[in-house]
Chain A
Amino acid sequence: MKIGIFLFLFSWSTSFGQSTDPDVTFLKGKSPVRLSFTLLPSVTSFRNQSPFVWTGLFGQVSWNQFVVESQIFLNHNQSFSIKNPPLLINLPAQGTIANPSSIVNPPNSLDFQFPLSLGAKWTSGQFSLAGSMALLSKKTVIQNPQIINLEENIYSVSWKPENKSAVSGIFSFSGSWNLNLLTFTAGVNGLTVPFSSKTDTSYQMKPKLSPLFGIVFGTNGIQAEAKWMSSRLGFSIKSKESLQVFGDVRPEIKLGYETGTSRFSWKRAGFELSLPLTRIITLVTAGDWVFGNKQSLSDQNFRDFLTLQAANQKPILAASTLSIGFTFSFDASERNIPVRLMDSRFYQSSVYTAKRSFYTYNPVGTVDLYNTSEDPAEFELVIRSKNKLASYQSGKVTLAPSELKSVPVFLYLPDTSLSGIPVNDQMEVSAETENLQKRLTTFPITVYDRNSWDGDTYSLKYFLSTQDPDLLSFSKSAYLSALNDSEADSSLNPSLKILERFLSEAGEKLRYIPDPTTTFVTDRVQYPAETLRRRSGDCEDLVVFAATSLMTVGFNCAVVDIRPKLPEKIPAPTAASGSIGHVFLLVDTQIPVVQAGHTGLGEFQFVTRRNKTGEFTIWIPIETTILSEGFKKAFTEGVRQYYDEVIVNSGVEKGHVQIYDL
């Protein structure tokens, strides 16, 4: 059996368009369209044959979770000349052959090739599904004898070639499961679908349907693979881009070994070297040697060979092949974000759910970013957290070439109901484009639940919920009642009387109860609706409740904090009236200060403040912890505290009295 022209292609799947920045990854399901093709001229030499040249064209398109690959082989043809045995003709007793030499019949021929193959892969998370189809084209020429009776007892033998061709698709399907370092693959190979209706010859090229199994072990630098399918057992080892050989040159090297496991055996060894020359062009060199199989094939071996070859685009007859070519890669978006983190500062290690709106408008940190490229860089700053307790996505951040810019980082907190125990979370800050993510830095935060308070009196305003339906209904009802009552009594200033009656009603049965524990790290504040239900709270709970009730019906309020200022991380706890740590309320009576003479209020019983509309009005101090004892007591105690702390002790001047408008 003569082996004719045999074209061979040794092809490893090349890694097209690898990242040049290890911190940059594709966002899940957001990879750009990437196109690459490889032109690979090759020379193959069989034993006792002259070398010949063939060309392979490999294309790959990927977008999002999909990868589609194609292979086109030019001049890729395996031809076999099959010697026929001498023809036996039964002639009559006197019969003769006019041309006896023609009895030696010419050889049959068999040509086959895989001109085109297509593959597709879909990946979702740890799992991927792949399918491929290789087109198998076969042509056979069978020499059929024709015996013609020229004269009586004289015969002539001629040969008429019968051409037959068949096209079929060889399909394989597999699924993979990726577990970080390990990837398992399983599937089937060798499913044949005839595409032509012509009858085949006796030289069948139909592979057996067989399972395929593979396992890949990969680290950051090296990936090893073992694969078995269709009587082939293969091993390969491949370096990844992190292998740095000469300066910035980062070649990829792959070495492989394969052996047949059926009666028709072979062995293969090969290598592939990919050397990126530019961002687009990569030099590819490959070598492949097949050996260990039989030189001459018996009829049975030949049929085994055909069955196995039909399932393998890679030739399995002894040959040496050397290939050299180029890969051209085109990315829809460059796989790099030219931004370098120069410095980062984070001001908030503890964040409070109640202060959600504060973190939305006040940065929790700043990152200094540098554009490393000669072009403008545009991206978004994104924060993600492991426990999904906070996030952030900026608008477009633009850096001019070589610009260094400080970019503020904000935080969006969901109104999640934590159990009261602070939760630690890790925030990851990254620069992102539509498709790419570049990790910049991480910072830890502790997230406190919605009732936790950082001890900063300014933050009390975040507990005011004037839109709460229960509180609205309570306040409106109390205000209407106060309006009706005050109409009956005309001896007092109406506004002051309304305020007095409203606060008396709102504070009825309201009890001061301190927090169960004061940890000195976080205090807890009740929302007004919670205080309304429980009818109790500590001083800041009652201040928040009274302020919200008043603000619901249109009174402006401010909180006066008479706590000493301690170091930032040690907020002083608040306590009952008369303690060092305490807050009380200032209420805008809405009475113009020039009408003070009509109110009967004394020099120290009110202060003159500008309200939100810019008018100077009379504001009175109210001690909310004793509101249940009546307005007069709460007012007198408020005046006492104002006088002692502000007038006598000059608290504002000395810094231990702070005022916060709500």
Chain B
Amino acid sequence: MMKLSLIAGLKKAMCKSMIYKTIVFLFTLVLSGFYSENLSAQEKLWIKLEKGSALVLNPTTSEWIPLSAKDQIPAKTVLLTKPDSKLLVFRETTVSETPANGYFFAEDLFPKTRNELVSALVRIETSQLPAGTQPGTDKPVVGLTYGKETEAEGQKPEIPFLSERLNAVSWFTKQKKYDSALLSIKRILIKYPDLYKNPDLVNGLLELYEKLELYGYLYDESSRLMTKKTAASFDQMVIKWNDLAKKKLTGRGEQ
């Protein structure tokens, strides 16, 4: 009798131990899932093409792939919509309309928190691999690279899909999707810094900073632009934004 109860006790203890180990294993598995990073995979988005045609860019081969009515695309790539097209992009339960005749980064479509927006701006700035590290240090130099204005010699300046890019920015702004508009215009200017000479684009960029209350960015960009030699009207516009940024940053604008 005594022997049987001992075996039963042992079995019970082993059972408890196995349950405990299983719980720990599952917990560890879940945690590792949270904290590990899959370097190669990226988020996928579903699309629904209701009207017209649209293309998605294969990032590595640069081939434009026509989208079918219902398709899945990577989040970090570019979409090109044709005029009169109607394309919806889905991220989990969120759906986003897209501009027709537009060229935009798919991930930029979705609303972002302030932190996500700043993080995206940093990623855009570093995406062009600006000058690396200072000699003797391993501190990466992150930020915009500002260089000599390029004068197109002989050939007409040719920025691919410029009108589609600007259409997208304009559409996002009209739709009050300011975060999408800001990221889109920032992508254009970072990829083609010569466009910083365009007062309308610059004004649009600074206005979006203001709308999104990114006064630090507004101050930095306007301060940098003030050092460049531009037309008087351009200068006045930039100074206006710079003054506003200073007021907001120092709290004087509230008085």
CA distance A602 to B65 in the complex (A): 13
Cβ–Cβ contact B62 & A602, under 8 A:
yes
Contact of A594 among B39, B59, B132, B192 (CB under 8 A): B192
Main secondary structure of the interface of B (DSSP, over half): loop
> Size of chain B's interface in residues, with CB distance under 8 A?
45
Cβ–Cβ contact A643 & B59, under 8 A:
yes
CA distance A601 to B133 in the complex (A): 27
Encode A591-620 as 1/0 by CB contact (under 8 A) with B: 011111110111111011111011111010
Complex: chain B residue closest to A642, CB-CB: B129
Cβ–Cβ contact A615 & B60, under 8 A:
no
Contact of B129 among A458, A558, A595, A613 (CB under 8 A): A558
Interface-forming stretch among B7-15, B137-145, B207-215?
Answer: B137-145
Cβ–Cβ contact B60 & A640, under 8 A:
yes
CA distance A610 to B147 in the complex (A): 6
Residues of A within 8 A of B153 (CB): 592
A659 within 8 A of B: yes
Complex: chain B residue closest to A598, CB-CB: B158
B68 within 8 A of A: no
Residues of A within 8 A of B159 (CB): 594, 596-597
A350 within 8 A of B: no
Complex: chain B residue closest to A662, CB-CB: B132
CA distance A277 to B79 in the complex (A): 94
Complex: chain B residue closest to A592, CB-CB: B150
B199 within 8 A of A: no
Cβ–Cβ contact B76 & A594, under 8 A:
no
Rounded to whole Å, the gap between the CB of A638 and the closest CB of chain B is: 9
Interface-forming stretch among B17-25, B93-101, B108-116, B118-126?
Answer: B118-126
If A604-B62, A640-B60 touch, whether A659 touches B158 (CB-CB below 8 Å) is: no
Rounded to whole Å, the gap between the CB of A400 and the closest CB of chain B is: 29
B33 within 8 A of A: no
B67 within 8 A of A: no
If A602-B62, A608-B190 touch, whether A660 touches B132 (CB-CB below 8 Å) is: yes
Cβ–Cβ contact B152 & A648, under 8 A:
no
B5 within 8 A of A: no
Encode B170-210 as 1/0 by CB contact (under 8 A) with A: 00000000000000000000111110000000000000000
CA distance A646 to B190 in the complex (A): 15
Residues of B within 8 A of A647 (CB): 59, 76, 127
Complex: chain B residue closest to A643, CB-CB: B59
Cβ–Cβ contact B192 & A596, under 8 A:
yes
Q: Tally the A-B contacts, defined by beta carbons under 8 Å.
A: 145
Residues of B within 8 A of A598 (CB): 155, 158
Cβ–Cβ contact A648 & B76, under 8 A:
yes
Cβ–Cβ contact B59 & A593, under 8 A:
no
If A640-B60, A648-B76 touch, whether A661 touches B132 (CB-CB below 8 Å) is: yes
Residues of B within 8 A of A653 (CB): 119, 122-123, 126, 142
A414 within 8 A of B: no
Complex: chain A residue closest to B151, CB-CB: A592
If A594-B159, A653-B119 touch, whether A646 touches B127 (CB-CB below 8 Å) is: yes
CA distance A370 to B39 in the complex (A): 54
Residues of B within 8 A of A592 (CB): 150, 152-153
CA distance A616 to B192 in the complex (A): 8
B227 within 8 A of A: no
If A601-B62, A659-B129 touch, whether A608 touches B191 (CB-CB below 8 Å) is: yes
A413 within 8 A of B: no
CA distance A350 to B45 in the complex (A): 51
Interface centre among B128, B130, B140, B194 (most CB of A within 10 A): B128
Residue numbers of B with Cβ under 8 A of A are: 37, 39-40, 42, 57, 59-62, 76-78, 119, 122-123, 126-133, 135-136, 138, 140, 142, 145-148, 150, 152-153, 155, 157-160, 190-194
Report 26 cross-chain contacts, Cβ distance below 8 Å, ordered by A residue: A362-B136, A458-B132, A458-B135, A560-B129, A592-B153, A593-B191, A594-B159, A595-B155, A602-B62, A604-B57, A608-B145, A610-B131, A614-B148, A639-B59, A644-B39, A644-B40, A647-B127, A649-B37, A652-B127, A652-B140, A653-B122, A653-B142, A655-B140, A659-B132, A659-B140, A661-B132
A-B contacts besides A558-B129, A593-B191, A600-B62, 7 pairs, CB < 8 Å: A595-B155, A604-B77, A605-B62, A607-B127, A610-B145, A616-B145, A647-B76
Residue numbers of A with Cβ under 8 A of B are: 362, 456, 458, 558, 560, 565, 586, 592-598, 600-605, 607-611, 613-617, 619, 636, 639-640, 642-650, 652-653, 655, 658-661
Instruction: List the 4 closest A-B pairs by CB distance, nearest first.
Output: A602-B62, A597-B158, A610-B147, A614-B148
